[in-house]
Structures are given as C-alpha cells and as structure tokens.
Copies of this chain bind each other. A is one copy, B any other.
Amino acid sequence: MSTRDDLVEATAELLRERGYSATSPARILERAGAGQGSMYHHFHGKADLARAAMEHVAAVMTEAVESEDDPSLPALDRIRAFLAREWDPLLGCRIGRLVQDAEVVGDDDLRGIADRYFTHLEDWIADVLEVGRAAGELRGDADTRAAAAMVVAVVQGGFVLARAHQDVATQQAAIRGASLALGALRAREH
C-alpha cells in the first residue's frame, strides 16, 4: 500500500475515534508511519486529507448497505434489515458524527460529503418503500419520504443516545421502536 493510502487510512481511523477538530496532522503521521513532508506532498493540508478520507469512508459505507440488501424481499423487511445492521454505536456514525463539528460544517467540501451521503441513503430507503407501495404491500397514502427520513434519523439519533449513555441498549431500543412503528405503513388486510 502506498504512503498516500496509509495516510488516508490513518486519517479515516482517527476521524472515527476522535472526530475532525481533535485529530492533528502529527497524530495522523505517527499512525501512518510517515513524515510531515509526505503529507504535504500528497495533500494540501489537513482539510484536504480529511476530504479524501471522508470520501473513502462514505463510498465504503454506501457500498456496504447496498450489497447487503436483498431486493427480492418485501419492502418493510428490507428496511428492517437495514435497521438491524451491525452498528457500532459507541464510536458513532463515521459520517454523522463529524457533522456536529463546527469546522466540518463550515467547510463546504467536507460537509458536502456528509450531505450527499445522507441524501443518497434517504433516497435509497424512499425508493425501496415506493416499490413496496407499488406492490400493494404499503398503504397508498404512505409518506415514503417522511418514513425514510425517520429511519435514517433513528439510526443517527441512536448513536447520539448510545454515546450519552455509553451503552448500546438505547440505540437498539430506538431501532426496535422504529421497526415496530413502520407497521403503520402496511396496507390494511382484507
């Protein structure tokens, strides 16, 4: 693996463990086993390196969600499988966490990565639900965009609660609550 890749990898790890502001170039270099010259040769600076790392992480996470999906299942089962994924709540979402950092939100390049990541996820869920509606599985008047936003928000909020409590149980409870509540979208049985 190239020094450049080592730097991106080390940055991604530290972003996950400590967030953006609290991650210093010095620590990145230490973990990557590289000198300062390498970093400033391959990247313009800390923000540029973080941008590369965030883009890598967002691509990996998006790919993971879609590769685990089984489109032959009923829509609600697909969404419930998404909710039931293995999250790592104590570390927080690798993307969502960063967006609470003023430096990240103040940099349109960095925030844009999170923006597009969540937009893609919300669209994907809404599309799955639309398929379910077209198949008659869901109510004709189901608000699929609202439901998709709710699903993504429950996972993200679960991370917040897990970190506050230092305990994974509350995120699991929130996800269970959302899974159960999604039953409200189901078309009435005849």
Is A11 located at the chain interface by the 8 A CB criterion?
no
Q: How many residues of A contact B (CB 8 A)?
A: 59
A150/B154 in contact, CB under 8 A = yes
User: Which residues between 16 and 50 of chain A lie within 8 Å of chain B, taking CB atoms?
Assistant: 17-19, 21-22
A158/B161 in contact, CB under 8 A = no
| Residues of B with C-beta under 8 A to A99 | 160, 163-164
The CA of A102 and the CA of B22, in the complex, are separated in Å by: 8
User: Which residues between 92 and 139 of chain A lie within 8 Å of chain B, taking CB atoms?
Assistant: 92-93, 95-97, 99-103, 105, 111, 114-115, 117-119, 122
The CA of A181 and the CA of B183, in the complex, are separated in Å by: 7
| Residues of B with C-beta under 8 A to A149 | 158, 161, 170-171, 173-174, 176-177
A150/B174 in contact, CB under 8 A = yes
A164-190, CB under 8 A of B: which get 1 and which 0?
A: 111000110111111011111100000
